[in-house]
Amino acid sequence: MSTRDVPAQIGDLPPIGRPANSAMLEAGITTLTQVAARSRRELLAMHGVGPRAIRILEAALTARGLAFADTPSAT
């Protein structure tokens, strides 16, 4: 799949760039809830997902009261 064919935004994901969007689509991730089920390391292992995309996703997750799977819960 060419990044040219990837939409600029997918589902409720924030704009993270076409390469990262392409990686998310290939992994079947189209929502922030699905992102929250993954760890940062797992997402960073996807070709096209870098630290910038992780920062953007983390901010969007926090705004929704969600977090990455590897984020320690505040107890």
In 3-state terms, the chain is what percent helix, strand and coil (to 5)?
45, 0, 55
Q: What is the pLDDT of residues 59-68, one digit of tens each?
A: 999 999 999 9
| Torsion angle of C-alpha atoms 13, 26, 45, 17, degrees rounded to 10 | -40
Supply the pLDDT for residue 6: 57
- Predicted model pTM: 0.85
Taking the domain 3-63, which CATH number applies? 1.10.150
Supply the pLDDT for residue 66: 96
Q: Identity (one letter) of the amino acid at 45?
A: A
Q: What is the pLDDT of residues 16-35, one digit of tens each?
A: 999 999 999 999 999 999 99
